[in-house]
Amino acid sequence: MSIEIDGLMSFCNVINNSKERGQRAPTFKLKLNPMKTHVSFDNHIYLFPPRLNRGEFADILIQDESNKTLVSIEAKLHSNWSYEKDIIENKKRLDFIAERIPTIKIFPILLVSRNSWNNVKKLGPHRDSNYTKFQCDQDCPFMVIFWDQLAEIVNNPKVSQFILSQQDRRNQGYEFDGQWFKQQTSKSL
């Protein structure tokens, strides 16, 4: 059990120490109870009545009912992120949840590769830059963490190595070729 507790504490520290933070990112510290924390994937807002829309509010949702905390992670590994789709639209859905659970603490996270983040930073102060939008939006509650940070806290070296090997691959998903799944080529993208 101590490994899970240590891993969960390390995860909280990665988020609490994020240097890339929107102007409205939570200022309180993330604390998760290892005995009450649950993880789910591909979470959609239609699960909350009334049905707002079918959109996703978290690729990865970490929730702890004991302290009314949600960590909503928008994870981008092999694709680019969009400020409008991945930040603005998710923020609307998270606000919808916060209206229904007034005591909730929500930690919205954008999980990207460090190279991807550095590439958007290089675009500089261009008004259409995702980075500029992230920095200038006074209502942005998101924090950014990186895949390599998660790889560092994973206790299994094979999983850590896999995460690191994947983070710089772009748009290399798989498609069904009629018999089995094969890696997509640039022509099929």
Q: Give pLDDT tens digits for 49-65.
A: 666 566 788 999 999 99
Q: Within a domain: residue 89?
A: yes
Residue at 81 is within a domain: yes
Q: How far apart are CA 40 and CA 181, in angstroms?
A: 25
Grade residue 3 by pLDDT with cuts at 50, 70 and 90. very low
Do the domain assignments include residue 136?
Answer: yes
pLDDT digits (tens, 9 = 90+) for 151-172: 999 888 888 887 877 765 654 5
pLDDT of residue 130: 93
- The conformation of residue 186, written as its DSSP 8-state character, comes to G
Average pLDDT of the residues of the chain: 85
Q: Supply the range of the domain harboring residue 123.
A: 2-156
Helix (H, G, I), strand (E, B) or coil at 86: helix
Structurally, the chain folds into a number of domains equal to 1
Is 30 among the domain residues?
A: yes
Yes or no: say if 52 and 45 are a contact pair by the CB < 8 Å rule.
yes
Letter for the amino acid at 184?
A: Q
Predicted pLDDT at 170 = 56
Higher pLDDT, 83 or 189: 83
Task: Give the confidence band of 188 by pLDDT, cuts at 50, 70, 90.
Answer: very low
Residue 73 lies in a domain: yes
Q: Is residue 186 part of a domain?
A: no
Write the pLDDT tens digit of every residue in 74-94: 999 878 899 999 999 999 999
Tell whether 163 is covered by a domain: no
The angle subtended at Cα 70 by Cα 64 and Cα 74, nearest 5°, is 135
* Domain-located, residue 179: no
pLDDT at res. 13? 96
